[in-house]
Amino acid sequence: MTKITAPDGTPVSPFCFGAMQFGGGADEGTSRALYDACRNRGVNAFDTAHSYTDGTSETYLGRFAARERDSLVIATKAPFSRPQTRSEILAGFDESRRRLGLDSVDILYLHRFDPDTPPQETFETLARLQSDGLIRHVGVSNYAAWQVMRAQAVAAACGTRIDIVQPMYNLVKRQAETEILPMALDEDIAVATYSPLGGGLLSGKYAAGGTGRLTEDERYSARYAPDWMHAAASDLVTLATEVGTDPATLAVAWVARHPAVTMPIVSARTVAQLLPSLAALDFELDDALMARLSALSPAPAPATDRLEEA
């Protein structure tokens, strides 16, 4: 597996914190408390994006990280809504660096697949940023496996490679198991998975009448609309009660245990919300409990769709 380290050689932590809520669901004071809670548990990887909270996420993260930057792994993403042309990547990255207050970042992800820009132009640009010392690793987010491999061939011709991918993966969103995670293991690509709690569904809060992204954001409500997902979340709460822990702890530990996963990206709006996810750092998930958790949701069909081989 590709080794991701901080500039001073510190190995990347088993978990990453996603700063999507900085400047949105979390004000500056709460964002700082979230950052500190992560650092107190040894988390040294932080993920943001050009598009998060109109740039406030990058600004806050850069401010918090300034004094210990060399021991951290800082990732951001190219603009989500812009084409991945040379000019747009460079303009967006310059904006991100100014907000972060950093000369360089450790990982720059392409935030989505762009079918309209020639990949040669995209990866020549990333290769140049890398050779200039402005990024250390190239990553892609929200790519299908075939898109990663197509891009990897182009990247190789440009003198670089995709070192890390960022797919969605959780107990009720398991499509990554079909091709993305096996591909990453086979091709020596690190994996930082996002949304381990399924927009909060797997925290159990919605079953208890709580609110959040699934009730406030149409994209998330559609993403997690099927009744069986909510049934799985309810069953997760029951299982967590039985073993004496929080459902969020089980959900994150389940993701982290997959052999292809380098680090789940955990996030929250408050420290109280974050602590059960961080507790998964120490949770011993044995084979029997892993199997019970996996049985709460259907595994995706194999890529060949030969169900007898699943």
Tell me the catalytic residues: 52
How far from 292 is each of 145, 202, 231, 232, 253, CA to CA, in Å? 28, 15, 15, 12, 13
Residue type, 165: V
DSSP 61-82: HHHHHGGGGGGSEEEEE--SSS
Give the gyration radius of the chain's Cα atoms: 19
Q: Six-digit token pair at 215?
A: 């009730």
Angle in degrees, CA 161, 173, 83, rounded to 5: 45
* Greatest Cα-to-Cα distance within the chain, rounded to the nearest angstrom: 55
Under a CB-based contact definition with an 8 Å cutoff, are residues 72 and 6 in contact?
yes
Residue with tokens 């994006």: 49
Residue with tokens 């400047």: 23
